[in-house]
A and B are shown apart, each in its own frame.
Chain A
Amino acid sequence: MGSESELSELQPTWQFLNPIPQGPLPTIPEPAAAPEVELIIDGRETSVPTGSTLLQATKSLGIETPTLCYLENLTPVNACRVCVVELEGSRTLVPACSRKVEAGMQVQTDSPRVRLSRRMVLEFLASSVDVSTAPELQQYMGQYAAEPERYGPSGPPALGNERDAAVPGHHVAPDGATAGTVEQPVKIDNELYIRDYSKCILCYKCVEACGEDAQNTFAIAVAGRGFDARIATEYTVPLPDSACVYCGNCIGVCPTGALMFRSEYEMREAGTWDESAQSETDTICSYCGVGCNLQLHIQDNEIVKVMSPIESGVTQGHLCIKGRFGWQFMQQPKKK
């Protein structure tokens, strides 16, 4: 208690009056260098360390490979097949994002077969999914001359929670005249973010980020089979009844805008979302001592979205609920 302690001099013997001398420079123990593997990509000889993926090998040669389900901070799941390349001796095309290099591989990254396959993957996605807020995917569509219109006009959207109630094995085959669609109502069940699964390409990134690759919360998984497959909470309960902790790391990795800040969604609905008028500034979260890097998206002197740069060594792009959403106090009437 205060009354018991005098303002007397404390004499802690553990305190150093003098600075600690400089020691040797700390180092990270180097793992034994992996032997190089030689392979041929698009007729060019190259060598990369054992254990590298074909994606890393193509990147080291400056070859751009499209990816949708791949991200540096997630484990590859091979879901989207847009990164496929042609490997001599292989019956099928192989996903560059996860296929490990082997000595003597001969790889084509831009053959007619590769281009056709990538084009069809993009067309299947764009014919059934709303890709209007997926800039990367749109760019690839241009690059590969994808024409999703050739699958016909969009079929009827799912009503209510029809898609959530779909039972595996009970899929109704389409009539062939229209393109199947995953269009369905937007899920708005909390103040922080919305889920618009009409825009979901099932890349699994959100599932990975919610699970072992970042958050270890496991609030979502892929439910259903085939065209009825969808991202779902356990028993498709609303988010507030699920295990979700609102870190928003799923939003951070979503490539199509299916997962979106509620603030962004509402501004888009109101027609006030204007990326050309937005600036981005990197700073550090104001809460705990981890020091997560925040990328603030600002429009009209207000924060409209918070992301985290994937290059940041502190948390590789991941945040918690406070860093992702806890900035509203900056935008209330204040400092009266």
Chain B
Amino acid sequence: MWLGVDVGADIALANAMGREIIAAGLANEEFIDNATSDFAAYRSAVEPYTLTYAEEITGVPAAVIRETAHTYARADRAQICWTLGITEHHNAVDNVLAIINLALLTGHVGRYGSGLNPLRGQNNVQGSGDMGALPDRLPGFQHVENAPLREKFERAWHKRIPAKKGWNLSEMFDAMELGVLTALYVIGENPAQSEADQHRAINLLQGLEILVVQDVLMNATAAMADVVLPAAASWCESDGTVTNSERRVQRVRRALDAPPGVKDDITILCDLATRMGGDLGPPVAESIWDELRSLSPFHTGMSYERIEQLGGIQWPCYDESHPGELYLHGRLWARPVIGPRAPFHAVAYKPPAEWLDDRFPIRLTTGRRLDSFNTGVQTAGYTSPLRRRETIDLSPEDGRKLGVAEGETVRVSSRRGSVEAPVRIDSTLRPGLAFMTPHFPNEVATNELTIDATDPKSGTAEFKAAAIRIDKVEVGVAQD
């Protein structure tokens, strides 16, 4: 089944499914009673989400929502997988909570073949979080505001660690705006082109006192930097580990010699520390990994040798006899449940931050195409027969209404910016929905259109829902 839910209507869909599952008597009462909390509040919160109401909001026929709910609830094993279509919204965390509620309601979590799967979009997004590249966590998801955990790291590192969590990416840009953040060190990212509302992002980056960029390639952000540190590619010019979507820690290995003068990330960071009067130890991937193992219980059992032997290990892996864990939350099926109960969270549907109106009547959502990746820094390097450069994809209905033809260049505008792009008619789009990618920012700066309305809980911007208008470009008339 393909539901074709309206962009940004996911909570209405999930809540309606939840209401239907309860009403049909398909909720897993044993699991709810023994392993969860706050069910009563959830049940009242989803009560208004009748199938008819959800159909109005989501565009999915009531009968289809009902069938989906029943199929999911009755399945022996069921998983919900999602990507940035759920999380790049101003209410990203609420979207995820609405999905978690469904898994708790049916007991489709903590068992083989069931569960909740956020599919990661980059090869080490999971690993970055695992290693504490989050504003509130130390390596192994140990909360920085938990004093005993923090003190463990302080003892190992002989340094005081700020006892308060830091800023996420969106908060950093806000801090630049307020003039509180004046120095930025960017490793392996291209925020000048990847941030929503690109005009604002570039202005703020330009206003910094110092911008340092460490990257494999000279991307647009590096071009703005005061200092560029050329880095070896982590996946083939360095040794180390990455963690994939299934929490599997795997080895990356050095296969190529980096060009002369180019160092790997670890060496650059250790050298910098030395210049600043510190000592991070030898710049050797395995010894740093072993230090991590001594501080993060999730990783303690993962020696390089075992990672190699077992074809990667899924955390948590508490000791060298532990095989790693195929799925999480099995504790919820112990009776009595081990640890805290899993709470339901009542969440309400809220439409995308930017409403459609007469001036900006079309919903723009952004995403990737198969052969390209993010701002195209890497994928620009190879010739893909599938590549057709950037287009504004429109439904056939919208194409007719606007009087624009395939291949015709049009002006696409939002409240923040305006770009020109050729039209591509895509019959898989529903009327009112347009699609673009961030892959060719030097030709079509799609992120000049996107909105940086961010989710206060995750700091993620609403790349998936902007309001745009499309105007014909008259030949021979200068555009502003």
Contact = CB atoms under 8 A, between A and B. Distances in A.
B456 A191 contact: no
Given A246-B384, A301-B257, A330-B236, A284 B250 contact: yes
Nearest to B378: A329
A332 interface: yes
Interface stretch (B268-276, B311-319, B421-429, B440-448): B311-319
A134 interface: no
Interface string A189-229: 01110000000000000000000000000000000000000
A1 B452 contact: yes
Interface stretch (A5-13, A122-130, A137-145, A252-260): A5-13
A326 B382 CA distance: 6
A306 B110 CA distance: 36
B170 A2 contact: yes
Given A7-B167, A286-B233, A298-B256, A245 B386 contact: yes
A22 B332 CA distance: 11
Contacts of B218: 334-336
Contacts of B234: 286
A284 B123 contact: yes
A172 to B, nearest CB: 35
Contacts of A334: 216-218, 259
Interface in A1-29: 1-3, 5-7, 10, 12, 14-29
Contact of A311 (B112, B311, B451): B311
A314 B310 CA distance: 12
B122 A2 contact: no
Interface in B425-439: none
B253 A282 contact: yes
Contacts of A312: 311
Interface in B246-292: 246, 248, 250-257, 259, 261-262
B122 A289 contact: yes
A320 B326 contact: no
A18 B146 contact: yes
B338 A14 contact: no
B58 interface: no
B82 to A, nearest CB: 12
- Which applies to chain A's interface (DSSP): helix, strand, loop or mixed? loop
Contacts of B380: 329
Contact of A325 (B236, B328, B331, B382): B382
Interface stretch (B12-20, B359-367, B369-377): B369-377
Contacts of A5: 170-171, 174, 454, 456
A291 B244 contact: yes
Contact of B381 (A18, A285, A328): A328
A321 interface: yes
A328 B253 CA distance: 18
B39 interface: no
Interface string A267-291: 0000000000001011111111111
Contacts of A287: 122-123, 373, 378
A21 B245 CA distance: 22
A284 B112 CA distance: 26
B338 A285 contact: no
B457 interface: yes
Interface of A: 1-3, 5-7, 10, 12, 14-29, 190-192, 239-240, 244-246, 279, 281-291, 293, 296, 298, 301-303, 311-314, 320-322, 325-332, 334-336
20 contacts: A5-B171, A23-B332, A24-B334, A25-B325, A26-B328, A281-B253, A281-B254, A284-B242, A284-B252, A285-B123, A286-B233, A288-B122, A289-B119, A291-B246, A301-B256, A312-B311, A321-B371, A330-B236, A331-B381, A335-B259
Interface of B: 93, 97, 110, 112, 119-123, 125-126, 136, 141-143, 145-146, 149, 167, 170-171, 173-175, 177-178, 180, 200, 216-218, 230, 233-237, 242-246, 248, 250-257, 259, 261-262, 297, 311-312, 316, 318, 322-323, 325-334, 338-340, 343, 345, 370-371, 373, 377-386, 451-454, 456-457
